[in-house]
Amino acid sequence: MVKKVLRWRADTVAAAAAEAKSSGGSGSGGSGSGGGKGSPASITESNVWSELAAGNDRVSELFTRLTDLAKKDPARFDAWLKGCESTHAEKWSTSLHTADVGELLGSVRAIFQETIRPCLQAMGSFAGTEIEPTPSTRLLDHTISEPGVVCAAVPGGTFHRVFTATAIEPNRCADRI
């Protein structure tokens, strides 16, 4: 699977460079974090890498902000997380007990659902391989519907690996998910 994706990427980059050379353009291919923000309709072969990178960068920024909140007031941060643990994600930013952390976690969740997973699915399609196989999609969609789950994804095209980020205490996570 990795070889297919890398071969597809090399071919796509070479084709974009050749097109840019013949047309006198820059060959940048895509709008980066353009208007569709990773929606399936906005993902193309020329912008999937930049959309994915932009999504990953936004998630990294959000985790940095979460880390800052945790350092600033660890007890309050733990209380916010505990509030998110038993609540569905759509209520995280509106609950008095989880608002600050919940808003950031909700943003991480949205980026995974609206940008990262669609980009990985599109990339697999463009490369002729499944990065997120259909059975995994069903499992992930079910998993993220559970209270306390921030995001879930496939780390690379296998039917037996997924990752999940949760606001659930580690010793209770396996019982819940």
DSSP 106-155: HHHHHHIIIIIHHHHHHHHHHHTS-SS-HHHHHHHHHHHTSTTEEEEE-S
Residue type, position 95, single letter: S
Two tokens, residue 15? 């084709």
CB-based contact 43:30 (threshold 8 Å)? no
Q: Any idea where the domains of the chain sit in the sequence?
A: 44-176
23 has a pLDDT exceeding 80: no
Mean pLDDT of 126-133: 86
For residue range 66-118, what is the model confidence (pLDDT) as tens digits?
A: 999 899 989 988 888 888 888 888 888 776 566 678 889 999 999 999 999 99
How confident is the prediction for the chain on average, in pLDDT? 80
Tell me the two tokens of residue 34: 């353009």
Contact 141, 162 (CB under 8 A): no
Residue 162 reports pLDDT greater than 90? no
**29: pLDDT strictly greater than 50:** no
